[in-house]
């Protein structure tokens, strides 16, 4: 397979690719004898868009899927569009003073990244920022877990996260880092303007240099006996607190 494409697997991932970015769907394989109505709907919709799916044996589909749970359908999809810091500058400028950005500091689990992207897209975030190194990238697993969000939302990969945060600050974006040890509650701050929410990997949290480039550290109040939340859960809570403030 070409380096500029990858296989995505599963009903949601393939259906989303067809719906939102059919021009980048290179090929669709469907399990011979598949009767799932949603798979048949994908087959019909693909043909309407000029993509002719191929029916193949289950064993062949399993082999191509490479262990991914495919639900009877996979697609060869163009590699995700790449965004960099120059694109991020334009995203901020076009948001009219209300940009909402999710920044993930070395989140390495593709399922967590996919879930974070899904929450970010649902919350109407303008972009998600991830480091180029020591972090999950947009893979087939991420695409599937994100339920299509990876193809709808700009994912900006940056070489130097601290430098990126500084650049955002220079554009008038307020940087809030999520950290459990601070006393300031997420619910006590104003998230209605230009905001970037920064979350670290579940095991390590925010790196020291990342913390130092935040304008303020805040925490999600947890009256229960747990010390931390899964990063994707924390991202969802933080993003939708911003949504609550912006729509109220």
Residue ranges for the binding site for S-adenosyl-L-methionine?
A: 200, 220, 229
Backbone angles phi, psi at 226, to 5 degrees: -90, 145
Neighbouring residues of 37: CB distance < 8 A, sequence distance ≥ 6: none
| Burial profile 64-98: b = 16 or more Cβ within 10 angstroms, e = fewer | bbeebebbbbbbbbbebeebebeebeebbeebeee
SS3 105: strand
User: Which residues define the annotated binding site?
Assistant: 200, 220, 229
Torsion of Cα atoms, 15 then 19 then 21 then 22, to 10°: 80
């Amino acid at each position: 397979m070409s380096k500029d494409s990858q296989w995505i697997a599963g009903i949601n991932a393939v259906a989303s690719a067809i719906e939102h970015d059919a021009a980048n769907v290179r090929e669709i394989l469907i399990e011979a004898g598949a009767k799932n109505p949603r798979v048949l709907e994908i087959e019909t919709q693909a043909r309407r868009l000029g993509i002719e799916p191929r029916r193949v044996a289950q064993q062949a589909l399993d082999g191509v899927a490479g262990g991914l749970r495919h639900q009877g359908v996979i697609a060869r999809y163009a590699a995700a569009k790449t965004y960099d810091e120059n694109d991020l500058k334009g995203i901020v400028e076009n948001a009219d003073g209300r940009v909402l950005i999710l920044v993930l500091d070395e989140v390495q689990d593709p399922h967590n990244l996919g879930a974070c992207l899904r929450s970010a897209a649902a919350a109407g975030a303008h972009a998600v920022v991830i480091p180029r190194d020591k972090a999950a990238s947009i893979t087939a697993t991420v695409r599937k877990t994100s339920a299509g969000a990876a193809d709808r939302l700009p994912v900006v990969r940056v070489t130097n996260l601290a430098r990126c945060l500084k650049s955002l600050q220079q554009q008038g974006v307020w940087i809030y880092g999520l950290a459990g040890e601070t006393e300031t509650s997420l619910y006590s701050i104003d998230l209605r303007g230009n905001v970037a929410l920064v979350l670290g990997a579940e095991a390590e949290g925010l790196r020291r240099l990342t913390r130092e480039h935040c304008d303020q550290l805040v925490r999600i109040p947890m009256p229960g006996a747990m010390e931390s939340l899964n990063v994707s859960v924390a991202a969802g809570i933080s993003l939708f607190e911003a949504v609550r403030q912006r729509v109220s």
